[in-house]
């Protein structure tokens, strides 16, 4: 997943926090699973879930670890439906939650958004979440020698925040930091299996 992630990075680069030495990557690593059904040879209904880790570089003042997870449902149309191949453009709605764990390595309290939140030598975890919209295209290669078999393919798409979300610490909203949001493209490798169900057939 590669794109524009806004997960507290502006607040963390503030000199009162981790400082300008803090950096975070633009590519998150994801792993997950999902499934779906093809109805009437054309209509695709499915869902997925995944976790992610966004790499970061520590500063001499401390460190931050950014991770999270999300999921949702999909609706698509099988533009190509052949015995050994499926191509499905789709759209989807879902949600994504993030957690940012910040550790203070300095001898003074560290501030986020102008508020002293992290005592010296301690870490705190801030959480945020938002709704997401997805659009993409999925291509499967199928090996179904009988009523079922294996499938492998690629998933290419983009996901974006529908409504940005405020970060929270211990259940209280942090108004002094930018809300969590993102827009990112993704390329996923898919491996799995499936089968056919025909009503009335045993």
115-122 long-range contacts, CB within 8 A, separation 24+: 115/174, 115/176, 117/169, 118/62
CA distance 151 to 158: 22
pLDDT at 195 (0 to 100) = 61
- Extract the residue ranges of the chain whose pLDDT is less than 50: 198, 200-202
pLDDT of residue 196: 56
pTM for the model stands at: 0.81
Cα separation, 158 vs 193, whole angstroms:
24
Check if the beta carbon of residue 94 is closer than 8 Å to that of residue 68: no
User: DSSP letter string over 20-55?
Assistant: TT-EE-SB-EEEEEEEEEEETTTEEEEEEEEEEEE-
Q: How many CA atoms lie within 13 A of 38 on its CB side?
A: 17
The phi and psi torsions of 128 (rounded to 5 degrees) equal -150, 160
Q: Please state which of the four CATH numbers 3.90.1520, 3.10.50, 2.60.40, 2.40.160 is assigned to the domain occupying 2-195.
A: 2.40.160
Give the strand pairing for 85-104 and 80-82.
antiparallel
Residue 147 pLDDT: 67
Phi then psi for residue 88, to 5 deg, are -130, 105
CA distances from 159 to 5, 110, 132 (A): 11, 33, 6
Q: Give residue 73's region: left, alpha or beta (phi > 0; psi -120 to 50).
A: beta
**Domain map of the chain by residue range?**
2-195
């Amino acid at each position: 997943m590669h794109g524009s992630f806004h997960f507290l990075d502006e607040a963390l680069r503030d000199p009162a926090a981790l400082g300008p030495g803090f950096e975070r990557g633009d590519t998150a690593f994801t792993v997950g699973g999902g499934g779906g059904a093809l109805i009437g040879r054309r209509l695709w209904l499915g869902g997925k879930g995944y976790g992610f880790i966004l790499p970061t570089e520590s500063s001499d003042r401390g460190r931050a670890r950014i991770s999270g997870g999300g999921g949702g449902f999909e609706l698509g149309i099988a533009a190509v439906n052949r015995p050994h191949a499926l191509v499905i453009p789709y759209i989807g709605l879902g949600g994504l939650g993030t957690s940012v764990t910040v550790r203070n390595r300095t001898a003074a309290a560290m501030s986020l958004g102008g508020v002293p939140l992290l005592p010296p030598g301690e870490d705190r975890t801030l959480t945020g979440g938002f709704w997401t919209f997805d659009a993409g295209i999925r291509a499967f290669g199928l090996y179904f020698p009988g009523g079922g078999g294996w499938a492998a393919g690629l998933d290419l798409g983009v996901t974006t925040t529908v409504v940005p979300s405020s970060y929270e610490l211990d259940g209280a909203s942090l108004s002094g930091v930018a809300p969590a949001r993102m827009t990112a493209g993704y390329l996923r490798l898919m491996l799995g299996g499936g089968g056919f169900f025909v009503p009335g057939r045993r």
